[in-house]
Every structure is written in C-alpha cells, then in structure tokens.
Amino acid sequence: MRFPEDVPVLSDDVVTLRAHTPADIDPVFEMCQDPEMQRWTTIPVPYLREHAENFLTEQIPNGWRDGGMWAWAIEYDGRYAGTVDLRDGDGGVGEVGFAVAPSARGAGVMTRALRLVVRHAFDVLEWDRVIWRAFVGNWASRRVAWKAGFRGLVVVPGGGKARGVRYDEWVATVGRDDALEPVGNWWKAPVVEGNGFRLRPFEPSDAKRIVEACSDERTQYWLPGLPSPYQLPDAEGFLGSRHENLATGEGVSWAIADAGTDELIGCVSLFDMTNRIDKTMAEIGYWLHPEARGRGVMSAAVRLVIEQAFKPVEDGGFGRRRLVLFAADGNTASAHVAEINGFTHVVLERSASPRRDGSFADLHGFDLLAAERT
Ligand SMILES: CC(C)(COP(=O)(O)OP(=O)(O)OC[C@H]1O[C@@H](n2cnc3c(N)ncnc32)[C@H](O)[C@@H]1OP(=O)(O)O)[C@@H](O)C(=O)NCCC(=O)NCCS
C-alpha cells in the first residue's frame, strides 16, 4: 500500500480516522508527555520530539507500506485527538492499541474510534478476532474496550512489558460475529443522601477508616472471612476489588459517610448480582464503624439501598427482583436491620456460618421481593 494515499478514511458523524501528517508531530509529542500515557503505554520515557518524528515519518508509513501495522490519526472537533492502530493480523487475529490526548478524553472519542477500526479489521482486513490488552489498573482503557464489545476478560500475570518491566495484564477480545456493544453490566454507585449520612462511592482516602472498622472486635467476630489482623494493604485490596465488582456487574458497594465531614462510617453492598442461576437477585451485606453504631444508621442505609436495588436499570437503579440477607445466629443487631426493613425470615441453615475457632453457627436467611413492595 502507498502512504498516505491508500490510507482509508473512516468516519462516523463525530470522529474521523485519517492518515497522520507532519502537522501531527507536535500534538503527538505533547500527548506523550502526559503521565497517564507514560504509565499505561510502552512509549519511551522521557519522550522526546524525535520519538514523535520517527513514529510519524518512519514507523507509521512503513507499517502501511509493509503491512503489519495500520495506524490512524483520530480527528475530533477539527483537531488531532489521538492515535489508534491495528497490528499483526497473521492467521486472522491481531491487536488494537490506542491513545487519546488528555484534552479530548471522556467524550467518547476512543469508543467511537475503536468501533471504527474493529469494523475495518473484520470487513477489510478480514480478521476473525481483535485482541485488546492493557496493564491491570487502566480502568479508562478497560471501560472503552467493554463499551466497544470486547469480552472474556482474563488477567495474565506479568503478561505486559514496558521499558523492561513486567506488569500484570488484562486481555479481552471481540470476534467478527460479536456485536460491538457491552456485554453484561458495569455498575456505578450513585450518591444517595440519607438523614445525617450519605452513600457514596469509596475513595482511596477511606483506607484508614476501613482498617479501624474492620479491626473492631465485633466486626471481626461476625465477619470471620476478614483478615486478622486487618491492615492497610487489606483495605487497599478491598478498595481495588470495589472497581472490579462494579466492572464485572458482580456487585456495588457504597461508603456510608458522615453528611457533615464525609468521613467513612460504614459500608453497605449489593453482591452476587451475576449469580449463576438467578441474575435478578442480590445479597445485601454491611459493616459499621464502631463509632457509628446504635443510631439506626445501618437500618436507614439499607432502606436506601433497597430502593436503589429494586429501581429499574433504565431509571438508574439495579433492576433486582429479589434480595437476600444472612445473619449468623446470635447476631441480633444484623437480624434487626433485616426485619425493620421488611425482610421475611425464610430459613435457618444449620451449622452454615464459620467461626474463627473452627466451629460453625446456624445462619438465618431473610428475603425481600420487589413484588411485595408495590
Ligand atoms: C484510554 C483512553 C484512550 C480513553 O480515551 P477516551 O476518549 O477518554 O475514552 P472514552 O471517552 O470513549 O471512554 C472512557 C471511559 O472510561 C471512563 N473512565 C475514565 N477513567 C476511569 C476510571 N478511573 N475508572 C472507571 N472508568 C473510567 C470514562 O468515564 C469513560 O466512560 P463513560 O463515557 O461510560 O463514562 C485515554 O484515557 C488515554 O489515552 N489514556 C492513556 C493511554 C492509554 O491508556 N491507552 C490505552 C493503553 S491499553
């Protein structure tokens, strides 16, 4: 192929993919100064102007001429906004890589550009499958891939490499017969105002209070799955797994925060939302910082979560049909939260709740149906 004459222009109504020109060298150089670019991609660091020059005047034209790399400039709002490329393709399978300039992020530019190149890979290059790879933690990239229909995500420990260092990697793919649309739910935890508290997404600054709450003797007693002693890395792991639960649709956790200070006073979660046999249910779980106990905070927080859980997805809720809640025999405070919120006690599972000493307590099961609340 000839460069730039044979580079096809791909466009939806909003973004246009075209051949790079020398005028893109400066914006590429500028984009590559961004710390996110340096953290999540394999570009040289420090990134010099000559790197941009070489990429645009040597690597990209050679990629088109020889085959093996097909890179487009993304134009949005009349300007260069990023670069997207397809690579390899031997045997009908190749990879996609992309970056958007910081000033153009969050406007859906990359999702549009990704759909355009994936269609091109299937329809023109006749690939059967496109692979997306990102270092673990690159949530913006993962969300773009999810929105454009990539699926079957796996973690490959040490699968990625940048500047000689190995990183864990996410890999997902999309096949030629797949719709370029999201598979499954990626939840967001909405902010909900309560009386004297608010439910909000967790933040990294909550870690210290999580350690306090989860080190508490009563929390440790009733939640025997918690690490003991519970330390800062445990809280950081918990915070990281909140993102994962949202992204896989498995669950939604809210920080219960003081309305005045925004300090963390507890946690309430919906989980098991991708249950193998019932994808319309959720289990509710919770814990409270010891300072916040005895004021009815958890009963009120669970009431708000029930509303969110039963609200249809199209109205910003979670579309649940049935909620369940479990409390070990003897945990009267937890059972009270269920009962005051209208849950029905439906089962006593014998010897079902492990204790730290190796013995098992009976477990009370409660449920609440959306149908009985209308
Ligand atoms: C990844 C990147 C290309 C995304 O470009 P973009 O044009 O902003 O992408 P979009 O606007 O189409 O979508 C980004 C989505 O990620 C979401 N997002 C951003 N940061 C996020 C985070 N920390 N957690 C969860 N979602 C996040 C945005 O909200 C948006 O989703 P929404 O529109 O549904 O709300 C851009 O951030 C970038 O260039 N990053 C640096 C380079 C890079 O990481 N390249 C990919 C290497 S694999």
Cα 139 to ligand 1 centre (Å) = 7
Spacing, Cα 142 to ligand 1 middle (Å): 8
Residue 123 lies in a domain: yes
Same domain for 356 and 254 = yes
Which positions of the chain have pLDDT values less than 50? none
- Number of structural domains in the chain: 2
In a domain, 288, yes or no: yes
Which of 149, 175, 201 is the last residue in one of the domains?
175
pLDDT digits (tens, 9 = 90+) for 69-78: 999 999 999 9
CATH number of the domain within which 228 lies? 3.40.630.30
Q: Kindly state whether residues 27 and 128 are assigned to the same domain.
A: yes
Domain containing 124 equals 10-175
Q: Is residue 298 part of a domain?
A: yes
In a domain, 182, yes or no: no
Is residue 186 in a domain? no
Q: Residues 96-142: pLDDT tens digits? A: 999 999 999 999 999 999 999 999 999 999 999 999 999 999 999 99
Measured distance CA(81)–CA(134) in Å, rounded: 20
Residues 363 and 251 in one domain: yes
> How buried is 111 (Cβ within 10 angstroms: 0-12 exposed, 13-18 middle, 19+ buried)?
middle
- Ligand 1 atom closest to Cα of 107? 11
CA of 141 to the centre of ligand 1 (A): 5
- How far apart (Å, rounded) are the C-alpha atoms in residues 180 and 148? 5
Q: Are 326 and 364 in contact (CB under 8 A)?
A: yes
Ranges of H-type helices in the chain: 25-31, 35-40, 49-54, 60-66, 109-123, 139-147, 207-215, 217-222, 232-248, 297-310, 332-340
In this structure, are 135 and 232 located in the same domain? Answer: no
Pocket flag, ligand 1, residue 107 (CB < 6 Å):
yes
Domain boundary among 125, 145, 175: 175
Q: Are residues 131 and 226 located together in one domain of the fold?
A: no
Other beta carbons within 10 Å of 9: 10
369 lines ligand 1 (CB under 6 A): no
Distance 203 CA to ligand 1 centre (A): 19
Same domain, 250 and 144: no
Residue 255 CB–ligand 1 contact under 6 Å:
no
Based on the fold, state whether residues 221 and 324 are members of the same structural domain. yes
In a domain, 181, yes or no: no
What separation in Å is there between the alpha carbon of 100 and the centre of ligand 1? 9
pTM of the model: 0.94
- Cα 221 to ligand 1 centre (Å): 41
Are 30 and 122 members of one domain?
A: yes
Say yes or no: 218 and 366 in one domain.
Answer: yes
* Residue 113 belongs to some domain of the structure: yes
Same domain, yes or no: 349 and 292: yes
Instruction: Specify whether 100 is located in the same domain as 74.
Output: yes
197, 89: one domain? no
Q: Which of 144, 187, 244, 252 to mutate to test the pocket of ligand 1 (most atoms within 8 A of CB)?
A: 144
Over its C-alpha atoms, the chain yields an Rg (Å, rounded) of: 25
Both tokens of residue 283?
């289990």
